[in-house]
A and B are shown apart, each in its own frame.
Chain A
């Protein structure tokens, strides 16, 4: 007796009667479709709205100081960059579904590298753009009021320092461990193809 045939007979004994019908599956799909990319779409839409808002404010209102225009433009650019980065990521995922397993693992590894780049470069540029932009943007509003000037800039300085030196390194350490584990798993998977 051929063992493969025996294995096939056992394999096909699995109960598949409890699977949802196609109608039930369509209902499930309509509930859950797009849920996984929803966060990315939220980031894209919010960033684009912010970008348009910054540009609109700069176009509609007339400001006296050039710092306001530079600050607003910097924040608009940082928002636009965040939106473009997340959109590229979604586009890559959409192009993926007809890849074989080997191509797919290579894609996952590239995604991991992109995530590392996102943490080590993109986030820094976006945070720097928003921080510098905000500081320049509000200068016109408060430079005539020393108390407000001190309160606003020192509060914002503390906020940026905490984000920069506490929150970001902590988040990066946590994600670095996860990304390293993913890298090891990809290497293990790729070795299986040799």
Chain B
């Protein structure tokens, strides 16, 4: 059984990135990270290892994201126009900002699915976190990847 300290060191960067992908707001992501680890700290003594620790933690974090109703109000609901007139930017920070912007325009479950995929979780584990079948997750990831690629190409990021 891992200690809270080990779990926090191992998973906090991943959880933060997933929350940031969902909210596109660093401060809100930090609040959700804290909320997640409060639940982990409270639940750790009774955690019965029916699922992997990582699945359990990602479930808590993504459920916290889904519950953050006020987050939805901050999210842009319109699709990004494909003929953006912004200059092409190649810095890592700008690419990251643009990736978050694109993810923020996806619907809530797609945001979670692509964030977990980008974190490197196996598709079976993503399925277990979200509550869909692995086949369904595979199809969704393919579609999301296509959408992101199109947006990045339209923005001049991919050749």
Contact = CB atoms under 8 A, between A and B. Distances in A.
Contacts of B130: 100-102
Interface stretch (A3-11, A39-47, A64-72, A114-122): A3-11
Nearest to B17: A14
Interface residues of B, number: 55
B69 to A, nearest CB: 7
A39 B63 CA distance: 22
A97 B152 contact: no
A33 B96 contact: no
A11 B118 contact: yes
Assign chain A's interface to a size class.
35 or more
B60 A10 contact: no
Contacts of A103: 131
B-side binding surface: helix, strand, loop or mixed? helix
A-side binding surface: helix, strand, loop or mixed? helix
Interface in A177-193: 182, 185, 189, 192-193
A25 B99 contact: no
Contacts of B82: none
Interface in B86-135: 92-93, 95-96, 99, 107-110, 112, 117-120, 128-132
A28 B34 contact: yes
Contacts of B118: 7-8, 11-12
Contacts of B149: 3
Interface string A5-42: 01110111110100110100110110011000000000
A41 B37 CA distance: 21
B59 A193 contact: no
B8 A22 contact: yes
Interface string B133-159: 000000000000100110010000010
B43 A189 contact: no
B5 A3 contact: no
A182 B69 contact: yes
Nearest to B153: A3
Interface of A: 3-4, 6-8, 10-14, 16, 19-20, 22, 25-26, 28-29, 32-33, 96-105, 108, 182, 185, 189, 192-193
Given A29-B37, A98-B43, A192-B110, 12 more contacts: A3-B145, A3-B148, A7-B118, A8-B120, A10-B99, A20-B34, A97-B59, A98-B56, A98-B59, A101-B130, A101-B131, A104-B66
Interface of B: 4-5, 8-9, 12-13, 16-17, 20-21, 30, 33-34, 37-39, 41-43, 47, 50-51, 56, 59-60, 62-63, 66-67, 69, 72, 92-93, 95-96, 99, 107-110, 112, 117-120, 128-132, 145, 148-149, 152, 158
16 contacts: A3-B152, A8-B118, A10-B95, A11-B119, A13-B92, A14-B96, A16-B13, A19-B12, A32-B38, A33-B38, A99-B59, A101-B112, A108-B66, A182-B69, A192-B108, A193-B109
Closest 10 pairs (CB-CB, A-B)? A102-B131, A100-B131, A16-B13, A11-B118, A22-B8, A192-B109, A104-B63, A3-B149, A22-B5, A101-B130
